[in-house]
Amino acid sequence: MPLRLIDRLIRHEAAGGVLLILAALAALLVANSQFEGLYATFLDSVLAITVNDHGLEKPLILWINDGLMAIFFFLIGLELKREMLEGKLRRPRDVVLPGLAAVGGMALPALVYTLVNWGNAETIDGWAIPAATDIAFALGILALVGSRAPASLKVFLLTLAILDDLGAIIIIALFYTADLNTTYLMLALLPLAVMLVMNLYGVHRVAPLLLLGTVMWVLVLKSGVHATLAGVATAFLVPMTDRFGKSPVHRLEHGLTPYVGFLIVPLFAFANAGVVLTGLTLDQVLAPLPLGISAGLLLGKFAGIMGTVWLLTRLGMAQLPHGATWSHMAGVACLAGIGFTMSLFIGGLSFSDLHLMNQVRLGVLAGSGIAAVLGFTILMLAPRQEQAGAPATA
């Protein structure tokens, strides 16, 4: 009986989001307790994999952020490929509303952050931090709303968040690359080329492909390009259908999802959400960095998504999701302001200074937390689907 109950809890749509919240709360508690020293020592522990003094030697926090998160991005890549070939991103007309809303929901938060931090050379590089949406967290909160929200709303939010992640991947590739080592970058093209050939021939064995992807990850890491992008590239080269008619993409996605959702992402949250609150003052909360992040997630996301949806419906280019009202859209626009995992990740790429990273965590947790509460409240107060009637278009 207990095992059956645990299995039902794990399978619940909200489970991933709830576990993320618990991991973040655990990090906050530990970082502000007598165990803060152990927490810092744990994350700073050096793990090395070397052969004749050549290899990788990094603190545990970087193994989590560069290594385990590459698996997270690998799963995102698999989801993107599946959605583009078979799912919600297959037909262009189904992508217009959430796609353009995603663009607005990334541009406005970045603009808000930039305005708040304009002229501050120390913090301006964090402009992309509030542009991201945490899929698991946002969908987890929406699942808690239950039947009060129409099913079409989940499809809209999922599509928007997927495209949001794609935008974040592009931003990381273009703007968060360190000094390039062209030798390693050229070497990374070799396993990439072999994987491309395997994809074209529909090779059904994924182990060699994953091994080549790991080699590419190491080479990309040493090249200066952020290594998580190797995970996305590897995912896109997994054959959708092999020569036996089976789908390696489906098989890998199904197998990886529980490990990413219930181990990798919560571990990342625990390692990165430990903001130190000791001595925190109102001036620190309202400093440009945390204020820009929280304002971007709350105001920028909401204005970008709602403004884009309103404009498209006003021009007759799109309609609200079936059964959804403007109240529903307002709630979803708030939920999209839950940046959390992706925002913390981009924050880590933006700043190496511990003081600035503490401000990043403060801004992300404050903005994401308020966005979650607001989104949940608005959706719970919105009319039920059967009361909503036909969706409004203006």
The DSSP code sequence of 251-309 is: HHHHHHHHHIIIIIHHHHHHHH-----TT--HHHHTSHHHHHHHHIIIIIHHHHHHHHH
The CATH number for 362's domain is: 1.20.1530.10
State yes or no: pLDDT of 88 exceeds 80: no
pLDDT at 106: 95
**CB neighbourhood size of 245 (10 A):** 8
State yes or no: pLDDT of 256 exceeds 70: yes
State yes or no: pLDDT of 183 exceeds 80: yes
Residue 192 confidence class, pLDDT cut points 50, 70, 90 = very high
Residue 90 confidence class, pLDDT cut points 50, 70, 90 = confident
pTM of the model: 0.79
Residue 58 confidence class, pLDDT cut points 50, 70, 90 = confident
| Domain membership flag for residue 214 | no
| Domain membership flag for residue 218 | no
Higher pLDDT among residues 301 and 156, named by residue: 301
Q: What is the mean pLDDT of residues 252-278?
A: 87
Structural domain including 10 reads 2-176+226-388
Q: What is the mean pLDDT of residues 52-63?
A: 79
Angle, to 10 degrees, between the axis of helix 69-85 and the axis of helix 151-175?
Answer: 120
* Cα 270 from chain centroid (whole Å): 15
State yes or no: pLDDT of 390 exceeds 70: no
pLDDT at 281: 78
| Domain membership flag for residue 184 | no
| Choice among 8-12, 338-342, 349-353, 368-372 with the minimum mean pLDDT | 8-12
Q: What is the mean pLDDT of residues 4-19?
A: 64
State yes or no: pLDDT of 119 exceeds 60: yes
Q: What is the mean pLDDT of residues 126-152?
A: 84
- Give me the number of domains the chain comprises: 1
Residue 179 confidence class, pLDDT cut points 50, 70, 90 = low
Residue ranges with strand state E in the chain = 46-51, 54-59
| Domain membership flag for residue 316 | yes
| Domain membership flag for residue 354 | yes
| Domain membership flag for residue 147 | yes
| Domain membership flag for residue 210 | no
| Domain membership flag for residue 199 | no
Q: What residues contact 276, with CB distance under 8 A and at least 6 apart?
A: 31, 32, 36, 358
**Is the Cβ–Cβ distance between 264 and 73 less than 8 Å?**
no
pLDDT at 311: 95
Q: What is the mean pLDDT of residues 304-327?
A: 91
Tokens of 249: 């993409």
pLDDT at 6: 52
Report how far residue 173's alpha carbon sits from residue 333's, in angstroms, rounded to the nearest whole number.
Answer: 26
Residue ranges with strand state E in 138-221 = none
